[in-house]
Amino acid sequence: MNKVFYLVLLIFLIIFTQLSSLANDEEILIIFDSSISMREDFYGSPKYISAVNEAKLVLDKLSPSKKIGLRIIGLTLDSSLLSFIKNPSELCKATQLVVPIRENNIEYIKNSMDTIMPLGTTPLTYTLETSLKYDFTRYAKLKHIILVTDGAESCNRNPCEYVKEITSYQKDIKIDIMAIGVTLNDYQQLKCLADYTNGSIINIEKPSEFKNAFDKFLSPDYSQFKMPAINNKRVQNSQIIYKNYLIETYK
């Protein structure tokens, strides 16, 4: 009887230890805007090429144990263009998890980035909903999204309202943003996503700034396990600083 009891206790302790270890993990999802505007010239190269090239340099330096994945906003190479032509509303659901979040993923992500061919629009709200619902495991202590985009929502929805709602009861979300030469209105919307999740937004004005942004967001020192509680009052009184100019305070 004692042997059975100790065996059961040992099994319980092993399972508990494994689950505790899982629960301490940060999971990272790079969400890459693959809408058609990412084809636009950005100092001699398309925006998406500049972003991909710099991202790959930083990814090469990551530990293989980093849990990371890749989701695309917009159409991908295997998307059925005919189906979107027949039903244009489906463009506002065009997002795909290209590389699921897991360890030893760096080469898969780099290879998948090489296949990006920007098409379509930017269903940002739908993409965030889908990624937070399906892409992260329930054991993740921090669901860390790194969004690379050149614009805000293009499907008549409000991602800021969605993030405001979900962070009212879910405190394990962090959204960091690389905003590529965006307008002031788009910057305001994107900054709201960062503010409600205690994230950061970096306005990318030239290709070399991609590397600094990826370095920051993927650095082991950029730990968000120390993430403070969200202060909605602070968010509501947040200042908009755009291209180094204080524009206004939004509420």
CA distance 72 to 81: 16
67-73 and 201-204 beta bridge pairing = unpaired
Q: Is the pLDDT of residue 204 over 90?
A: yes
Largest CA distance in the chain: 75
Give all domains of the chain, ordered by start, each with its CATH number. 24-249 (3.40.50.410)
Tell me the pLDDT tens digit for each residue of 135-194: 999 888 899 999 999 999 999 999 999 999 999 999 999 999 999 999 999 999 999 999
Tell me the pLDDT tens digit for each residue of 209-236: 999 999 999 987 775 444 444 444 444 4
HSE-up of residue 13 (Cα within 13 Å, Cβ side): 6
Task: Work out the angle at residue 227's Cα, subtended by the Cα atoms of residues 127 and 22, and round it to the nearest 5 degrees.
Answer: 75
Burial 26-59 (b: 16+ CB within 10 A, else e): bbbbbbbbbbebbbeebeeeebbbbbbebbbebb
Residue pair 179/201 in contact by the 8 Å Cβ criterion:
yes
CA distance 226 to 80: 43
pTM: 0.80
Mean pLDDT of the region 31-37: 93
Task: Give the CA dihedral 31, 154, 199, 118, nearest 10 degrees.
Answer: 30
